[in-house]
Amino acid sequence: MEKDISTEEKIKEAARKIFLQKGFAGTRTRDIAEEAGINLALLNYYYRSKEKLFEIVMEESLKQILSKIIITANNETTSLLEKIDLIVNLYTDVLLENPQIPLFLLGEIQANPEKFKQKVGISHLVLKEVFIFRQIKEHLQKIGMENINPFHFIINAISMTIFPFIAKPMLQSITHIQESEFRQFVEERRKLIPVWIKSMVRL
């Protein structure tokens, strides 16, 4: 079936699985080797060090979670209305497939902020130039709410979409919720969040 996958790839996938669950410090190279079904030395043979391997996983995860959304948010041809739908749906799709990514990324950055200062550093100004930012600003002026920071609504959409996935492990600890129930809950939110956001900005 998936037998012709290279050793190199097998290691990266195993690393990804364990890094995402346990984080960098909580992961042992021996666990990665075992998960990948390879000899421990092959990890260093292909990737030099645990750190190098981690950086690859980290960068791919960052890309996975950011690239599409930034492109969508920056698209100048889609309206604010459709854009909200698109972003919520994009995140929901990615997170249903990779529910651990947000907690992994945010946790690693909190544990090691210096390491990421340069890596993902975008200037404060550049962020405000993302097109959706201007769209919200314009709309807020139209409805006489120009005094409110447009960033609030971006955070609202993202937080309501992502948070259930961040809280998932705790929710499962507290409530013993089933995977299917969780999925249904998220599918409901996929449709509800855009409605809520629109009501907030009177769209």
Partner DNA sequence: TTTAAAATTAATCATTTGTTTAAAATAATT
Partner DNA sequence: AATTATTTTAAACAAATGATTAATTTTAAA
Per CB under 8 A, residues contacting a second copy are 21-26, 100, 103-107, 109-111, 113, 116-117, 119-124, 127, 148-149, 151-152, 155-156, 158-160, 162-164, 166-167, 169-170, 172-177, 185, 188-189, 192, 196, 199-200
Residues touching DNA: how many (CB under 7 A)?
A: 17
In whole angstroms, the minimum distance from the beta carbon of 39 to a second copy comes to 24
* Residue number, 57 or 157, with CB nearest to DNA: 57
Residue 175, interface with DNA (CB under 7 A)?
A: no
In whole angstroms, the minimum distance from the beta carbon of 12 to a second copy comes to 20
Residue 69, interface with DNA (CB under 7 A)?
A: no
In whole angstroms, the minimum distance from the beta carbon of 7 to a second copy comes to 27
Residue 39, interface with DNA (CB under 7 A)?
A: yes
Cβ neighbours of residue 140 closer than 8 Å, sequence gap 6 or more:
146, 148, 150, 201
> What binding mask, one character per residue, do residues 9-28 give for DNA by CB under 7 A, x or -?
------------------xx
Cβ neighbours of residue 161 closer than 8 Å, sequence gap 6 or more:
87, 88, 91, 92, 95, 189, 193
Tally of CA atoms within 13 A in the half-sphere of 136 that contains its CB? 25
In whole angstroms, the minimum distance from the beta carbon of 2 to DNA comes to 15
Q: Which one of 5, 22, 49, 192 is in contact with DNA (CB under 7 A)?
A: 49
Q: Which two tokens stand for residue 4?
A: 């012709």
Contact partner, 45, from DNA, a second copy, none, Cβ < 5-8 Å per class: DNA
Contact partner, 176, from DNA, a second copy, none, Cβ < 5-8 Å per class: a second copy
How many degrees, rounded to 5, is the angle at CA 199 between CA 80 and CA 159?
A: 75
Binding site for DNA (CB under 7 A): 7, 27-30, 38-45, 48-51
